[in-house]
């Protein structure tokens, strides 16, 4: 009996659903290049976006934190240790901005 092997499919740039979600999220409108800034600037930008949004379904804090977590999870193994650290510090900054520990 011959064994069939599967070829791994490469995902084309047009099929990156997570990028589309990040860009067209129904939760809030993000500023351009928000995740390439400093951790403090990321947190402030997400806070502004979450508080201005009329489309979000939960509190501004939860919406902003969800977007950070979504970005971190979707980047997955492609996220460098430096960038992952920046996202973690942005989460801490966001908690501080909303007086949460």
Tokens found for residue 101? 């520990």
Q: List pLDDT tens digits, range 79-96.
A: 888 999 999 999 999 999
| Other beta carbons less than 10 A from residue 93's beta carbon | 20
pLDDT at position 4 is 67
Whether residue 97 has pLDDT greater than 90: yes
Quote the CA–CA distance of 84 and 68 in Å, as a whole number: 11
Whether residue 11 has pLDDT greater than 60: no
pLDDT band for position 13 (50/70/90)? low
Non-local CB neighbours of 81 within 8 Å, separated by 6+ positions:
none
pLDDT at position 26 is 62
Q: List pLDDT tens digits, range 36-64.
A: 899 999 999 999 999 998 888 889 999 99
Residues 33-54 as b/e (b if ≥16 CB within 10 A, e otherwise) read ebbeeebeebbbbbbbbbeebe
């Amino acid at each position: 009996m011959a064994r069939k092997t599967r070829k791994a499919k490469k995902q084309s740039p047009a099929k990156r659903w997570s990028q589309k979600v990040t860009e067209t999220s129904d939760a809030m409108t993000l500023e351009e290049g928000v995740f390439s800034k400093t951790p403090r600037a990321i947190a402030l930008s997400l806070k502004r976006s979450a508080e201005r949004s009329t489309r979000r379904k939960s509190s501004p804090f939860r919406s902003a934190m969800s977007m950070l977590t979504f970005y971190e999870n979707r980047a997955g193994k492609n996220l460098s240790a430096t960038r992952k650290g920046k996202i973690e510090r942005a989460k801490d900054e966001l908690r501080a901005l909303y007086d949460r520990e």
